[in-house]
């Protein structure tokens, strides 16, 4: 169960492994481009070699890529949907170049088309993004907090999407804050067990590949995406500990996505403490 955090690539992608190590990470997550927009910086042979060498130097076990925030596969605009699918495919190819294990994405909002049509659009876009893909990085759908009309806020909706995509190689990234915001309780060992049983019954634990482990600034079922440092939110340290020690995780990588600052190293330390010798 390697534990890590999302880190910056400022100054070059090869700087990310050192930043991860400074936080005490054993793995890390990164963007390969600006999450807000603009073109993707080229991944040259020299840059990739520097990155891979830095990962080895700084003892990183694996690394994963998060797609940009502007992805919206459920947009009413065909151009936006097409561009979103193109960027996801591009990120899969780029992730494969740098040896990343996974690429995960948010799916976007169906506020202008309705939830049913949004799910259909999202499935179409993901099939397009994955068509003919032969890279090494595996694609993951990230559970959402269900804010507004964002796709993926319930296990049932994610399961529906997986059925429509009809690909066994698509996995799931489980975000504790997103799930809690969507109404899935994680505050006690009993609540964690019940939520993960629901996940298994609806989606299947065989789809689970990694987890974002964040506490929550908002209360259960608030349907807002608001991460908090471990033990400072509404899930609480006991809930996060129970989640980390859940048999459902089966030694999967855990990534912190809290705000930059001294508390992030403490988040990593706490997750390692909760993990213990499991």
Tokens of 79: 């151009």
**Domain-embedded: residue 110:** yes
Please report whether residue 61 resides in a domain.
no
Strands 102-105 and 62-66, by their bridges, are parallel
Residue 205 lies in a domain: yes
Q: Is residue 29 part of a domain?
A: no
pLDDT band per the 50, 70, 90 thresholds, residue 214? very high
Structure tokens at 200: 């298994």
* Confidence label for 277 from pLDDT (cuts 50, 70 and 90): low
Count of structural domains within the chain: 1
DSSP string covering the chain: --EEEE---TT-GGGHHHHHHHTT-SEEEE-SS-SSSSPPPP--HHHHHHHHHHHHHTT--EEEEEPPTT--TT-S-HHHHHHHHHHHHHHHHHHHHTT-SEEEE---B-TTT-HHHHHHHHHHHHHHHHTT---SSEEEEEPP---TTBTT-SHHHHHHHHHHHT-TT-EEEEEHHHHHHTT---SSHHHHHHHHHHHHHHT-GGGEEEEE--EESS-TT-----EE-TTSSSSHHHHHHHHHT-GGGTT--EEE-PPSSHHHHHHHHHHHHHHTT-
Q: Please indicate, yes or no, if residue 263 is contained in any of the structural domains.
A: yes
Is residue 64 included in any domain, yes or no?
no
- Residue 52 lies inside a defined structural domain of this protein: no
Query: Of 57 and 148, which is predicted with more confidence?
Result: 57
Measured CA to CA in angstroms, residue 126 lies from 30, 110, 120, 130, 142 at distances of 21, 15, 10, 6, 13
Predicted confidence band of residue 92 (pLDDT cuts 50, 70, 90): very high
Percentage of the chain exceeding pLDDT 70: 99
37: left (phi over 0), alpha (psi -120 to 50) or beta: left
Q: Does 278 have pLDDT greater than 50?
A: no
Residue range(s) defining the domain that contains residue 151:
69-275
The domain that holds 118 is classified in CATH as: 3.20.20.150
The per-residue pLDDT for range 113-171, each reduced to its tens digit, is 999 999 999 999 999 999 999 999 999 999 999 888 899 999 999 999 999 999 999 99
**Average pLDDT, integer, range 185-196:** 98
pTM above 0.85, yes or no: yes
């Amino acid at each position: 169960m390697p534990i890590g955090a999302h880190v910056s690539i400022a100054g070059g992608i090869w700087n990310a492994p050192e930043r991860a190590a400074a936080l005490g990470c054993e793995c890390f997550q990164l963007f390969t481009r600006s999450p807000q927009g603009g073109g993707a910086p080229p991944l040259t042979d020299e840059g990739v070699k520097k990155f891979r060498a830095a990962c080895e130097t700084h003892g990183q076990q694996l690394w994963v890529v998060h797609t940009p925030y502007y992805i919206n596969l459920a947009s009413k605009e065909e151009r936006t949907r097409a561009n979103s699918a193109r960027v996801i495919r591009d990120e899969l190819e780029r992730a494969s170049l740098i040896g990343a294990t996974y690429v995960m994405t948010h799916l976007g909002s169906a506020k202008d088309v309705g939830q049913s049509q949004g799910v259909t659009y999202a499935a179409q876009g993901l099939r397009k993004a994955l068509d003919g893909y032969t890279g090494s990085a595996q694609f993951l759908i990230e559970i959402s907090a269900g804010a507004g009309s964002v796709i993926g806020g319930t296990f049932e909706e994610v399961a529906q999407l997986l059925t429509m995509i009809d690909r066994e190689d698509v996995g799931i990234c489980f975000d504790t804050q997103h799930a809690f915001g969507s109404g899935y309780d994680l505050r006690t060992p009993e609540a964690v067990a019940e939520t993960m049983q629901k996940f298994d019954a609806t989606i299947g634990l065989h789809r689970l590949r990694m987890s974002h482990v964040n506490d929550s600034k908002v209360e259960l079922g608030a349907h807002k995406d608001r991460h908090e440092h471990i033990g400072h939110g509404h899930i609480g340290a006991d809930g996060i500990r129970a989640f980390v020690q859940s048999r459902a995780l089966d030694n999967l990588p855990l990534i912190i996505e809290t705000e930059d600052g001294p508390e992030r190293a403490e988040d990593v330390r706490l997750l390692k403490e909760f993990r213990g010798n499991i």
